[in-house]
Structures are given as structure tokens and as C-alpha cells.
Amino acid sequence: MTGTVGELILAALAFLLIHIVPSSVLRERVISRTGEKGYMACFSLLSLVILIWLVIAYRAAPVEEMLWDAGNGGRHLAMLLMLIASILFFGAITSPNPTAVGAGKLLEKESAYTGINAITRHPMMWSFALWSVAHIVNNGDITSIVFFGTFGLLAVAGTYLIDAKKARQLKAGWAGYKERTSNIPFAAILQGRATLSFKPLWWRLLLGIVLFAALYLLHPLVFGVLPGPL
């Protein structure tokens, strides 16, 4: 099956399963035997191996017939989605967030409810989801849909899996946090459950734009494809 769409699908399924099944079914059992650090070490190594397999399978798979060609309209949309994704990603890596591993104590801090967390409690996951959509729109072949769709599906599913895990771990504390935040971006703000403040956001917004510009300039050098409109 080497170099086939079948292998790519197999690698994609393995990547999804390794992230979904252990976290929702086996995590507590494995941790009880290996400890938290042992579990994370094994999980990280296995995830990396399967990710490398997925990338290699994608690069080796033949490009099937295009199902659509979004043209410059798709490229303009992708630019907008990637700008938002870059801001969410930078906000995620620079903001304290109780959804991170071992970060439950952050529920006691107001910073966990403001800034990027007021927009969504899963900024990292939504940045990957938007990245996935941007690339699917502009790559209408089966091979690309499977590859990029895998990350998008996992990112969206991951928001719900993380919520369920945190609810089990943090109980009442998580219920209070969930009440003041939202999974879907801007939902809590629109519902009046959260307040958008630009004070903790402005520099993250600017540096997110810088990240977007860097990705745009590096894209043709790294991947050989100009991401902007032709």
C-alpha cells in the first residue's frame, strides 16, 4: 500500500485513534500503571511517529482528480482564515489556559477568563481547525482533503474531548469556568457570559499578524507554493 491513498487513510485513522481513544477510554487506566509522566512520554512518542508516517504517506500518495478549484476566491478566504488562525495560535501559546495539561489551578485566576480565553477556551484547537479549512478550500483533491481534514476533524473533536476530560478532573471548578467561557469562538461574548477586553489582546493581535506575515513569506520557500491570490 506504500504510496497510495489507502495508506494515507490508514495513517490518518491511526493519527485520529491515538488522540481520541486513549484520552477518552484508556487514559486513566494507563496513568494508574505508568504515572502521568510515563503516559505523556509514551503518548508523545507514539503521536510523533504516527504524525511522521502521516506526512510521509501524504507526500507519497498520488494526487487524485480535483473535485473543485476555488480559484482566487478561495485564496482570499484562506488569507483571512490564516490571519485569524495566526492570532488565535499566538494568543494560545502566550496566554494561561486551564485546558492545558496540569493547569487546573489557573481556574482561580481572572486571566483564565479574559483575553483570548474570553473569545474561546480552545484557541489552539480552533487555530488548527481554521488552518485545515483554509487548505482544504484551496486543495480540492482527495489526498489533500484526507490529510488536512484529519487535523481539522481532530481539532474540533479535541475541543469536546478536552471539555469532557476537564469536567471529570476539575468537577465544580470546571463547571464555573465553562459557564463564563465558550468553546465556539465569540459565543460567550455574544451571550453576555464573557467580556472582550483589548488590554490583554492588543500585543498578541499585533504579533499574531507578524506570525501571519512570516508564514506567508516562508510558505513558497518551504512548500514551493505561493499562498496569496494569483
**DSSP result, 21-59:** HIIIIIHHHHHHHHHHHHHHHHHHHHHHHHHHHHHHHHH
Q: What is the pTM of this model?
A: 0.91
Q: Where are the alpha helices (DSSP H) in 138-201?
A: 142-170, 172-180, 187-190
Spell out the residues 6+ positions from residue 24 whose beta carbon is closer than 8 angstroms to its own.
161, 164, 165
Q: Give the pLDDT of the chain (230 residues) as one tens digit per residue.
A: 667 899 999 999 999 999 887 765 566 666 667 676 777 788 889 999 999 999 999 999 998 778 899 999 999 999 999 999 999 999 999 998 998 877 778 888 888 899 999 999 999 999 999 999 999 999 999 999 999 999 999 999 999 999 998 998 888 889 999 999 999 999 999 999 999 988 899 999 999 999 999 999 999 998 888 888 87
d(CA 13, CA 46): 14
d(CA 77, CA 220): 18
Task: Using the structure block, give the residue that is written with the C-alpha cell 478532573.
Answer: 169
